[in-house]
Amino acid sequence: MNDLPTVGAEEEFLLVDQQTGESAPRNAEVAAEAERRGITLQLELSSCQVETTSSVVQTSGQLGEELARLRRVAAQAAQACGLQLLALALPPVTPHEFPVTDTERYRRIGAQFGMVAHEQGICGCHVHVEVPGRPAAIITFLEGVWPRKPSAAHCAGVGEVLAKMHLAGRDFSMSRANALSVAGWRPLFDGSRRHIDNSLAQELESELDFFEKNWPCDLPAGVIHADLFNDNVLFLHDKLSGLIDFYFACNDAFAYDVAICLNAWCFETDKSFNATKARALLQGYGKVRPLDDHERGVLPLLARGAALRFLLTRLYDWVHTPADALVKRKDPQEYLAKLRFHRGTASIADYGL
């Protein structure tokens, strides 16, 4: 009986247009071509993805050789179909949604989970290990828990680490546009408008008109997180231990990332704004990367825009996610209150500085 551990790996890949880098929903076509070339590609939930699956081996050398062969043949199959195979966690150009693969199982998942199923464009590598006689798995683990009731100290830590992240990404050469910036807001509104009352529709349309004319586009920019809510930040003994969930990470204004955090961290459950938390967050950020005068001047506008962005995505998900879906819908009314607060501010002084 063999008592050595065995290992296998699954690798997910994106299919993109060779010229534009846009995701290409043609996984069935590429899989058929790969089959003709002697390997089997698995179809993923997104029709823009395929997966290679190694056999079970005992050494890293064996696994490396097989993964190289699978990657090579998969890339050739994609190229034969006029596409590029990419080993990236996220697509270089993010679509509004990823079409679900047309199989019975994935159609059922699409119907059950609604819009959530159409947002899954993340690729990964899964390593499976078996130790004879014992259950085993290889996983990554980041210690810490996310704060259910954020304090001013939590906010200060978030501001400081956010600024460090912005500086750390300065020499990152790849770029990914923010698909949920101003240009992406009106389609969300148009897809939800008939489900809301006329007065709210008029209010939101007025906001869209305003931002489409006044959104600043000359601010210091780089890689931002774009979704740094409290459940995406881990703390260990009150010290920030890590940031997670970079699904929406993209290139945009640094101050916009700060504005998102003001919305995510500095309001209480009764929807009131906590200036003490905001001051702590902004001061923490400023210790590492001080906002310039232009950023400080437009921060209220950016915070207002960030509130509108999350209001619209929540509204869209609220009306398009089936009531019996397992995913929990989030109340868009929370961000309507935040939007109205920001609309009443005049300067960064209203945020505690």
Mean residue pLDDT of the chain comes to: 92
Q: Does the pLDDT of residue 134 top 80, yes or no?
A: no
Indicate left, alpha or beta for 19 from its phi (over 0: left) and psi (-120 to 50: alpha): alpha
Q: Which residues contact 249 (CB under 8 A, 6 or more apart)?
A: 90, 176, 223, 224, 225, 226, 227
| pLDDT tens column, 206-229 | 999 999 999 999 999 999 999 999
Q: Does the pLDDT of residue 93 top 90, yes or no?
A: no
- What secondary structure letter does DSSP report for 192? T
- Select from 94, 112, 139 the least CA-distant residue to 251: 94
Spell out the domains of the chain, with CATH numbers in brackets: 6-130 (3.30.70), 152-351 (3.90.1200.10)
Give, in degrees to the nearest 5, the angle at Cα 264 between 261 and 266: 85
Which pLDDT score, from 0 to 100, does residue 2 have?
Answer: 63
- The helix-helix angle for 333-343 and 293-320 (nearest 10°) equals 160
The torsion of the CA quartet 306, 308, 311, 314, rounded to 10 degrees, works out to -70
- Token couple for 220: 């210091």
Are 211 and 205 within 8 A, CB to CB? no
Q: Does the pLDDT of residue 40 top 90, yes or no?
A: yes
N- to C-terminal Cα distance for the chain?
70
Q: Does the pLDDT of residue 22 top 80, yes or no?
A: yes
Q: Does the pLDDT of residue 283 top 90, yes or no?
A: yes
Can you list the alpha helix ranges (DSSP code H) found in 94-177?
Answer: 104-113, 152-168
What CA–CA distance (Å, rounded) separates 139 from 341? Answer: 43
Most confident of 14-28, 93-107, 113-127, 332-346: 332-346
What CA–CA distance (Å, rounded) separates 263 from 136? Answer: 41
Q: Determine the number of helices (DSSP H) and then strands (DSSP E) in the chain.
A: 10, 9
| pLDDT tens column, 223-274 | 999 999 999 999 998 899 999 999 899 999 999 999 999 999 999 999 999 9
Range with the lowest mean pLDDT among 39-43, 115-119, 320-324?
115-119
- What secondary structure letter does DSSP report for 70? H
Tally the C-alpha atoms within 13 A of residue 7's C-alpha that lie toward its C-beta: 15
In single-letter form, the type of residue at position 283 comes to Q
In single-letter form, the type of residue at position 207 comes to E
49-53 and 6-17: which strand pairing? antiparallel
Distances from the Cα of 90 to the Cα of 72, 121, 282, angstroms: 20, 6, 30
What CA–CA distance (Å, rounded) separates 336 from 304? Answer: 10
* Longest Cα–Cα distance in the chain: 75
What CA–CA distance (Å, rounded) separates 334 from 45? Answer: 31
Q: Does the pLDDT of residue 119 top 80, yes or no?
A: no
Q: Does the pLDDT of residue 1 top 70, yes or no?
A: no
Q: Is the pTM of this model over 0.85?
A: no
Which pLDDT score, from 0 to 100, does residue 16 have?
Answer: 93
Tally the C-alpha atoms within 13 A of residue 224's C-alpha that lie toward its C-beta: 24
Are 98 and 118 within 8 A, CB to CB? yes
- Select from 101, 103, 78 the least CA-distant residue to 13: 78
Per-residue confidence band for 138, with pLDDT thresholds at 50, 70 and 90: low
What CA–CA distance (Å, rounded) separates 318 from 192? Answer: 9
